[in-house]
Amino acid sequence: MSELTKRIITAAILLVVVWGWYFHLSSPWFERGLALVGWLTTCELILLVKLRQAWLYMISALFGWLAFSFAADIQVLLLTTFIWFTCFVYDSRKNPASFEHFFTAIWMLGWLFAFTLAIADTHTTATGQGLIIGACLAVWVSDSAAYFVGRAWGKTKLCPAISPGKSIEGALGGLLFGVPVAAACWVYWGVLPLIPAILLAIVTVIAGILGDLSESSVKRLVGAKDSGRWLPGHGGILDRIDAMLIAIPVTWLLWGLI
């Protein structure tokens, strides 16, 4: 089976599963499913950044995500971070561990918690669901547009030290196509009026680009091509949600302020 075939089959299965989970699963099973995905992604992250004594981090993360499934709150992140640092100090008693890798894990874990918290908080209302759908559309459309525009007209590298394939022209193409789609979605669902919707969509697309670059920098640090092998043809979970990992929390926070 070719990689393209695997990619299409995996994407189709994911679409059906996520659609059914997001729109048809109510509390508390919705939050428990979200926590399960969060824990699996955390395990993938631990293995990706090659933390020593990985089982210590995985077990502590399991308890953190279990707590999250019953009460989605930022306090869970703070407690998990404290436990992780305790694990890091314990592991460094005789042989110093890489703080650079540990800090990278904490950075990604923080955004992952914010990502799941945003989804849990907005899931209970139609307006909140419209916000998340619009943000996802902004990321997906802008990412696709950036790829094709970049291939056709990309000349100026956006951030070659992290991702040599991305160009400024591609990023502008992503803004050009992603912003109208998200803004139209939010206006249609009554999430925001037109002008605030356009402004928020611009920030969402930019945050998505930064999220993509963030995960690329992590993979470059550890010398990995993919974040994992959970998803045939796609790599790992982080490879699929990298752009949304920052875009959705930023969109959710700014929407709350607006």
178 and 198 assigned to the same domain: yes
CB 158 within 8 A of CB 170: yes
85 and 142 assigned to the same domain: no
What is the tens place of the pLDDT at every residue in 191-219?
999 999 999 999 999 999 999 999 889 88
Q: In this structure, what are the phi and psi dihedrals at residue 49, rounded to the nearest 5 degrees?
A: -85, 0
1 in a structural domain: no
Tokens of 118: 């945003």
What is the tens place of the pLDDT at every residue in 6-41?
666 777 787 787 777 887 777 788 888 899 999 999
196 and 235 assigned to the same domain: yes
- Of 98, 117, 136, which residue sits at a domain end? 117
Range among 88-97, 119-128, 158-167 rated most confident: 119-128
177 and 161 assigned to the same domain: yes
- Of all residues in the chain, the percent with pLDDT exceeding 70 is 95
Tell me which residue range forms the domain holding 239.
124-258
5 in a structural domain: no
Range among 12-26, 47-61, 231-245 rated most confident: 47-61
This prediction's pTM: 0.90
Query: How many structural domains compose the chain?
Result: 2
Q: How far apart are CA 112 and CA 246, in angstroms?
A: 8
Q: What is the mean pLDDT of the chain?
A: 87
Nearby residues of 66 by Cβ (< 8 Å), 6 or more positions away? 35
Query: Is the pLDDT confidence value at 183 over 90?
Result: yes
243 in a structural domain: yes
Q: Read off the pLDDT of each residue in 132-157 and give the average, rounded to a whole number.
A: 89
Query: Is the pLDDT confidence value at 232 over 70?
Result: no
148 and 191 assigned to the same domain: yes
Q: How far apart are CA 55 and CA 41, in angstroms?
A: 14
**What local confidence, expressed as pLDDT, does residue 222 receive?**
84
20 in a structural domain: no
Query: Is the pLDDT confidence value at 94 over 80?
Result: no
79 in a structural domain: yes
